[in-house]
Amino acid sequence: MAVNQPPFPKMNPVAGISLGTTNAGIKQTERDDLLIMEMVEGGSCAAVFTQNAFCAAPVHIAKSHLGKNPRWLVINSGNANAGTGQQGMDDALKSCISIAQLMQGESSQVLPFSTGVIGENLPIQKMTAVFPNAIEKLDETNWQQAATSIMTTDTFAKGASKVIDLKGEKITITGISKGAGMIHPNMATMLGFIATDAKISQSLLQNCLFHAVEHSFNRITIDGDTSTNDACVLMASGCSKVAEITADSKSYSVFSNAIESVCKSLAEAIVSDGEGATKFIRIKIEQAFNQEEAIMVGKTIAHSPLVKTAFFASDPNWGRILAAVGRSEIKNLNVEKIEIYLDEVCIVKKGCRATSYSESAGQVVMDKNEITVTVKLGRGDVKEEIITCDLSYDYVKINAEYRT
């Protein structure tokens, strides 16, 4: 199930970045479940990772390899290789060694990523046996195949692509992501892989990614669960004709905004595909004192099972939203200054139900599959937006049956 499932977009090839997929039979044999990405020599690579203390073996390995001029990514779905101890570390490293031998590179130039069931050992022999198949298919145009290969409970492949013009020359930004459940990014994201042909230093690329992720993937939540495997990678091949982007150049803000735009598109696609989701919900917090409290209020609403189930039922039970705002641990909150809206319908004003509100007006909004909740705190001028979905019967069913 998905809310307004978008068609898979046109994916502009990124010069210097190739992708190849194959099926290793990790959990299923119906579609490809293994992806290899290659970047030409001389590019730069940035990444952010989950802050979950039980981070998966591939996260540990990828972190240690990030500063060693990575050129290859190897990603599998169907098995998270998390909670697997030393065996998991050995298996993740074996995948890097195998790719390096096939590509005549160094194992430290390979970043591994996994997604799927936690606590089961990676079928590393199955994977290494088909690495040559994926390598043989390496091509700059294989973005849709790549997006499909990293899916787990996703119901559709997720991609975004953008071309920007800088001084008469073009820079391409294209990316894919996966995620539908265990989504409350904290760093980081589920799995996201973005590529560009821009020339940019690793340190500046890392700053750009931090900013983009903070305002995209870190503003979504489906169920409040931060995964052991979250990671987002941004690779820059340097193959564009545009001069190197520097921090003090006018090009940097244009480039940074474009990276953020791609990340936001991928993040919103994840929420649209939330496990069992029937509603896409934007929570806008306005008039906050600072960013921290705006995010806190937004996420308190987004994580409330009572709020989420009310949206699933299309029930204008506005008291649940009011209660969530009140328990968001904002100090010295003056409830009489707060206003709450469902789309344009004011439901709360001066600490109680708005005199203009009617149940029928609220019902019209709740019957929609895309809804905006706006909370005006009356404390300042800071704005933030959190994106989430409802909580349905199907969410419970999907996750109850996840290993069967």
Q: What is the CATH number of the domain that holds 354?
A: 3.10.20.340
- In this structure, the answer to whether residues 201 and 334 fall within a common structural domain is no
Q: Which of 236, 254, 272 is the last residue of a domain?
A: 272
Strands 280-288 and 370-376 come out as parallel
User: What is the average pLDDT across 263-290?
Assistant: 94
pLDDT at 404 (0 to 100): 67
**258 exposure class (CB count in 10 Å sphere: 0-12, 13-18, 19+):** buried
How much is the pLDDT for 22?
A: 98
* Per-residue confidence (pLDDT) for residue 306, from 0 to 100: 96
Asked whether residue 5 is domain-assigned, the answer is no
pLDDT at 178 > cutoff 80: yes
Mean pLDDT of 341-366: 96
Model confidence at 37, pLDDT cuts 50, 70, 90, reads very high
- pLDDT given at position 338: 97
Question: 246: pLDDT confidence band, cut at 50, 70 and 90?
Answer: very high
Tens of pLDDT, residues 193-223: 999 999 999 999 999 999 999 999 999 998 8
Residues 6+ apart with CB under 8 A from 376: 286, 287, 338, 339, 340, 341
- Residue 12, domain member (yes or no): no
Note whether 310 and 386 are same-domain residues. yes
pLDDT-based confidence at 319, cuts 50/70/90? Answer: very high
Whether residue 310 sits in one domain with residue 171: no
| 128 and 261 share one domain | yes
Residue 188 banded pLDDT, cuts 50, 70, 90: low
Q: Which of residues 272, 304, 333 is at a domain's end?
A: 272
**Among 92-96, 363-367, 398-402, which stretch is predicted with the lowest mean pLDDT?**
398-402
The partner residues of 37 in beta bridges, in order of sequence, read: 19, 73
49 and 158 inside one domain: yes
Please give the backbone phi and psi of residue 182, each rounded to the nearest 5 degrees, phi first: 50, 50
CA distances (Å), origin 89, targets 110, 347, 386: 14, 52, 35
pTM, entire model = 0.94
Residue-wise pLDDT for 142-176, tens only, equals 999 999 999 998 999 999 999 999 989 999 999 99
Q: State the pLDDT at residue 229.
A: 87
pLDDT (mean) for 17-30: 97
Same domain, 264 and 145: yes
Handedness of CA 222, 236, 111, 66 (dihedral sign): negative
**Any idea which of 108-112, 266-270, 271-275 has the lowest mean pLDDT?**
271-275
Distance (Å, whole) CA 349 – CA 180 = 35
Q: pLDDT of 105-144, one tens digit each?
A: 999 999 999 999 999 999 999 999 999 999 999 999 999 9
Q: Please report the pLDDT score of residue 184 as a whole number.
A: 78
pLDDT computed for residue 347 by the predictor: 97
pLDDT at 189 over 60: no
143 within domain boundaries: yes
**Residue 111, SS3?**
strand
pLDDT of residue 348: 97
> 84, 189, 196, 221: which one is catalytic?
189
Q: Both tokens of residue 295?
A: 């995010």
Output the CA torsion 65→68→74→76 (10° steps). Answer: 20
Residues 284, 265 within the same domain: no
Residues 314 and 212 in one domain: no
pLDDT of 381 > 60? The answer is yes
Q: Which domain holds residue 310?
A: 280-400
| Closest to 4 in 3D by CA, of 367, 315, 271, 314 | 271
Task: Decide if pLDDT at 269 tops 60.
Answer: yes
Q: What are phi and psi of 234, to 5 degrees?
A: -125, 115
Is 6 a residue whose pLDDT tops 90? Answer: no
Alpha-carbon distances, residue 224 vs 136, 174, 333, 389 (angstroms): 39, 28, 24, 11
53 and 155: one domain?
Answer: yes
* C-alpha dihedral sign at 48, 241, 70, 38: positive
- Cα three-residue angle 326-330-333, rounded to 5 degrees: 70
Longest distance between any two alpha carbons in the chain, whole Å: 72
Determine what percent of the chain is predicted with pLDDT higher than 90: 85
CATH code, domain with 115: 3.60.70.12
189 tagged catalytic: yes
Question: Rounded distance, CA 22 to CA 86, Å?
Answer: 27
Number of residues that this document lists for the chain = 404
- Considering the domain architecture, whether residues 350 and 222 belong to the same structural domain is answered as no
Let me know if residue 9 belongs to a domain.
no
Instruction: Quote the number of domains for the chain.
Output: 2
